[in-house]
A = this chain, B = another copy of it.
Amino acid sequence: MDPDSVAKAFVEHYYSTFDANRAGLANLYQEGSMLTFEGQKIQGSQNIVAKLTSLPFQQCKHNITTVDCQPSGSGGMLVFVSGNLQLAGEQHALKFSQMFHLKPTPQGSFYVLNDIFRLNYA
């Protein structure tokens, strides 16, 4: 599978899971994974999922505008996403940018080693 397709497939899977079942993101992270969410640094799959499932909204929908990817060396892949995030009940969607550093698993899949999320304020 070519890198761009892998990146697109990952992005679709990540945000579908986020929007339908945030706890299901747990198997995309490992102990050494790092998330920086609006400047807050969190480490490890358990803490990361705890943070994401505790965000102050029940329902949300990510709409992806752009996906860029590049190989990061040693089999890893960098994925840079921009889009908007619609929270249930809110009139206006929030714009965001996010980058993922994916590393291969022995099973031939990918996990998220690095994750940085920022809202893009107007």
Q: Considering only CB atoms, which chain B residue lies closest to A98 in the complex?
A: B80
Tell yes or no: A68 within 8 A of B by CB: yes
Other-chain residue from B68, B82, B114 in contact with A72 (beta carbon distance below 8 A) = B114
Residue A122 CB within 8 A of the other chain: yes
- Taking chain A's interface residues, is the majority helix, strand, or loop, or is none over half, making it mixed? strand
CB neighbors of B among A56-87 (8 A): 66, 68, 70-74, 76, 78, 80, 82
The reply to whether B97 and A118 contact each other, CB–CB distance below 8 Å, is: yes
Q: Which of B76, B80, B95 contacts A73 (CB 8 A)?
A: B76
Note all chain B residues with C-beta closer than 8 A to A82.
97, 118, 120
Binding site for B on A (CB under 8 A): 34, 36, 39, 41, 66, 68, 70-74, 76, 78, 80, 82, 95, 97, 99, 101, 103, 113-114, 116, 118, 120, 122
